[in-house]
Amino acid sequence: MSIRIKNLTKLYGLQKAVNDISFEVKPGEIMGFLGPNGAGKSTTMKITTGYLNATSGSVDICGFDVASQSMEVRRSIGYLPEHNPLYTDMYIKEFLRFVGALYGLKSDKLSQRVGEMVEICGLGLEQNKKIGQLSKGYRQRVGLAQALIHNPPVLILDEATTGLDPNQILEIRTLIKTAGKEKTVLFSSHIMQEVEAICDRAVIINRGQVVADRSLSDFRSGGKSLEEVFHELTTQ
């Protein structure tokens, strides 16, 4: 499995932000990760990427344990967090070279990969600008480019389309679906239409626990939309 989460729990004092959850994501699968605010999604994703330590349980990425093999995990994932952290005073290519160098890319290989990311992520028209001069949509493109630059097998995207206009959403959706042809993608979103358009499967979490884990076709089989099922499962 590309992602294996087993009996994962995270405590903040006496509060269980994540309560004994387990699920797996197969190679080449795009999986939606859904839940209301405070359900434990971002906490789970931060533990999965090594930004937070779990209280108990385990997370494996491509066979590497997040707790004991954190460097191997970091090389295996590309991460775009909800609040896209970019250096706004840097130029696009400068920033991508910086990120690529952190992953060990050098000289010709680094330059080649930066050029590929500019093309793949549709940054050509803006490539000579500083990041601070870009629209929200183009900043998200830069965020995806930095997540992809080291060609990781796993992408973890937290609210990647939040705050974008309809055209920008379609563009980012296409980028994610294209990347998903070759990678495993864990995609968190509050926008049900995005999950239905992008994902093969969805896990719904509520109050720190998994309440559903089904393919998108299974969610629709009862004649209800994903949004209707989500509402039923998270308002009980």
In tens, the pLDDT along 63-93 reads 999 999 999 999 999 999 888 889 999 999 9
**Tens digits of residue pLDDT in 122-135:** 899 899 999 999 99
The predicted structure's pLDDT at residue 219: 87
The predicted structure's pLDDT at residue 181: 82
With a cut of 80, say whether residue 236 has pLDDT above it: no
CATH class of the structural domain 3-234 = alpha beta
The predicted structure's pLDDT at residue 215: 93
Q: Mean pLDDT over residues 144-158, rounded?
A: 94
With a cut of 90, say whether residue 101 has pLDDT above it: yes
- Provide the residue ranges of all domains of the chain, joining segments of one domain with +: 3-234
The predicted structure's pLDDT at residue 60: 96
Instruction: Select from 82, 114, 109 the least CA-distant residue to 96.
Output: 114
The predicted structure's pLDDT at residue 128: 92
Residues of the chain above pLDDT 70, percent: 100
Q: What is the CA radius of gyration of the chain?
A: 18
The predicted structure's pLDDT at residue 153: 95
pTM passes above 0.85? yes
Q: What is the mean pLDDT of the chain?
A: 91
Instruction: Select from 182, 192, 203, 180 the least CA-distant residue to 228.
Output: 192
The predicted structure's pLDDT at residue 99: 96
- Phi and psi, residue 187, nearest 5°: -120, 115
The predicted structure's pLDDT at residue 168: 79
The predicted structure's pLDDT at residue 83: 83
With a cut of 90, say whether residue 151 has pLDDT above it: yes
**Tens digits of residue pLDDT in 163-180:** 778 887 888 888 888 877
Instruction: Select from 100, 97, 145, 90 the least CA-distant residue to 123.
Output: 145
